[in-house]
């Protein structure tokens, strides 16, 4: 309720019916995540008024379903392998593996996961934890496990030229997550040739319109985009799902299903269907999802 009041204050006096509502909103320098909520609501309402899904409003084309990856966060090799095997049994083809700054543990976990899921496409997420002094050696050690890409192997605080040099030397594709926060940072990445893949979070980008624009910029530069979420509610997840549906075909497996980490939710979370896909909700035009009734605190 406090966030709702904050959002109301930020849009106070703005003509929500105006075509340039978002441009007027941007004059007020709204924080990206708050802007995402406002922009998603406004764009969803616009799409609903036109009788189409949000994805159709923000993208040149869109799919009806998005393939998704499974997530392995368990810290011991045995637990990580068990999670990987379980996810593969559920139909996932791609596994994203969270890593830390312990090289020996990383190697043991990835070896165990590869043994448990020999046919999986593996992606590692360093989350900026790897030290620049040994990150490249670490990637060379890990490359034997046939990896798709590694997210943010160099901290985003490092110079872009250093990240670009790492990417050129790496035997595994480099994906940038924390480095890609908005249109300006994306342009810097593309100009430096610092990434093979961009990890795009709609909430961090400031809304589905900004995220869609970033997708087009990366596409024009020939760089893959994978849409992911942090710990988003059903509403935030559905917004990201619409954004992911606008990705160029074939859509890469996206990191969207995070509902298992939530004890409660704001609406019905889109389910992961057989074949590890999530469909755009179509209960109504626009977002396609009706939040639960939260009229009382």
Catalytic center residues: 98, 201
Nearest CA to 226 among 187, 194, 254, 201?
254
Look at strands 121-125 and 224-228 and give their pairing: unpaired
- Please state at what angle helix 183-192 crosses helix 160-169, rounded to 10 degrees: 50
Q: Are 69 and 94 in contact (CB under 8 A)?
A: yes
- Burial (CB < 10 A; 0-12, 13-18, 19+), residue 231, is exposed
Total Cβ atoms within 10 A of residue 16 = 13
Cα–Cα–Cα angle for 74, 78, 81, nearest 5°?
70
Total Cβ atoms within 10 A of residue 131 = 11
CA dihedral over 178, 182, 185, 188, signed as positive or negative: positive
Bridge-partner residues for 175, per DSSP? 151, 197
CA dihedral 137, 139, 144, 146 (to 10 degrees): -170
């Amino acid at each position: 309720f406090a966030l709702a009041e904050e959002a109301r204050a930020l849009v106070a006096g703005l003509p929500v019916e105006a075509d340039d509502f978002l441009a007027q909103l941007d004059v007020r320098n709204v924080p990206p995540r708050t802007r995402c909520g406002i922009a998603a609501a406004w764009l969803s309402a616009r799409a609903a008024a036109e009788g189409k899904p949000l994805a159709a409003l923000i993208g040149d084309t869109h799919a009806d379903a998005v393939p998704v990856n499974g997530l392995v966060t368990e810290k011991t090799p045995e637990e990580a392998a068990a999670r990987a095997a379980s996810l593969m049994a559920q139909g996932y083809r791609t596994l994203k593996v969270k890593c830390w700054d312990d090289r020996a543990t990383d190697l043991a976990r990835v070896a165990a996961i590869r043994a448990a899921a020999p046919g999986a496409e593996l992606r590692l997420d360093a989350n900026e934890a790897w030290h620049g002094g040994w990150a490249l050696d670490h990637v060379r050690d890990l490359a034997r496990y046939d990896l798709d890409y590694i997210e943010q192997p160099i901290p985003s605080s490092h110079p872009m030229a250093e990240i670009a040099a790492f990417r050129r030397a790496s035997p595994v594709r480099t994906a940038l997550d924390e480095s890609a926060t908005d249109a300006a940072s994306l342009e810097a990445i593309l100009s430096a040739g610092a990434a093979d893949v961009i990890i795009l979070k709609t909430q961090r980008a400031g809304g589905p319109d900004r995220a869609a624009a970033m997708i087009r910029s990366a596409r024009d530069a020939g760089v893959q985009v994978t849409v992911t979420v942090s710990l988003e509610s059903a509403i935030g997840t559905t917004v990201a799902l619409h954004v992911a549906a606008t990705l160029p075909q074939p859509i890469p497996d996206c990191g969207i299903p995070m509902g298992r980490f939530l004890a409660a939710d704001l609406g019905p979370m889109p389910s992961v269907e057989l074949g590890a896909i999530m469909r755009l909700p179509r209960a109504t035009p626009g977002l396609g999802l009706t939040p639960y009734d939260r009229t009382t605190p």
